[in-house]
Amino acid sequence: MKAFENSFNEIKAMKDKEVEIVESMDTSPPDASTTVTPTVYRVIHFNQNPIAVNVEKHNEEFKRLVDENQKLLNRIVSLESGSEADVSKRLEEGVKNSQELEKLQKKLSSAEKSQQKIIDAFKRTSKEFREVCYRLTGFRIDLLKQNTYRLAHMYADSADDVLLFECDSDRTIKMLENQYSNKLQDSVQTYLTTHDSFPAFLASLTLELFHKQTIVS
């Protein structure tokens, strides 16, 4: 718009200059006694007048600015008619949801850290507990699969000398038969079949293995 005004002012200045030149010329009729030799002038017309081209360009720019201004006015009217409220509402909801999501992420992160601390503490405590049980009873207890446990004694002659126990859903414990348990039939008959006592059976096995280790030593 500013460029259009500048071009318009330039054109106006050129017109004013032309008027001044014409007025400054002597327009009085020539003296009859004076012989005037007519001068032949050649008028040249530009095929594309630079001034006209410049004016046309500024007219097009002005039209474009008018159209753009009208679009902006239409948008303002649309916003004032209620669309702006919807946009603002969506923005507020988006900000609120973003804040809620951030809070949930912080809570989740805190919960994950707490859970990891509990897991680490459980692993540490479980390891300590298994080690204490091993030192107190002589048996290392491992969970092989669901409800199936393996007992290995610290005084065992071989790493293959293990006992297998199964705990049923009703909390009933029974010893599973294997090659090592078949070697202990006397103790099985005395302490398990007759007295149904796993503690006595395991204690008897501990004493037997301990005596073997002592004699060997």
CATH of the domain at 186: 3.30.457.60
Give yes or no: residues 101 and 142 share one domain.
no
Which of residues 104, 137, 170 is at a domain's end?
137
Which of residues 80, 114, 137 is at a domain's end?
137
Question: Does 75 score more than 90 pLDDT?
Answer: no
pLDDT, average across residues 35-51: 53
More confident residue, 30 or 179: 179
Question: What are the two backbone dihedrals, phi and then psi, of residue 48, each rounded to the nearest 5 degrees?
Answer: -125, 100
**Block residue for tokens 């501990």:** 206
Could you tell me what percent of the chain has a pLDDT over 90? 37
Please give the model's pTM, rounded to 2 decimal places: 0.48
pLDDT the model gives residue 36: 47
Give yes or no: residues 147 and 171 share one domain.
yes
Residue 164 lies in a domain: yes
pLDDT, average across residues 183-212: 94
Give yes or no: residues 101 and 118 share one domain.
yes
Domain assignment of residue 120, given as a range: 91-137
Per residue in 5-16, pLDDT (tens digit) is: 555 566 566 656
In sequence order, what are the residues at sequence separation of 6 or more whose Cβ sits closer than 8 angstroms to the Cβ of residue 174? Answer: 165, 166, 168
Give yes or no: residues 145 and 132 share one domain.
no
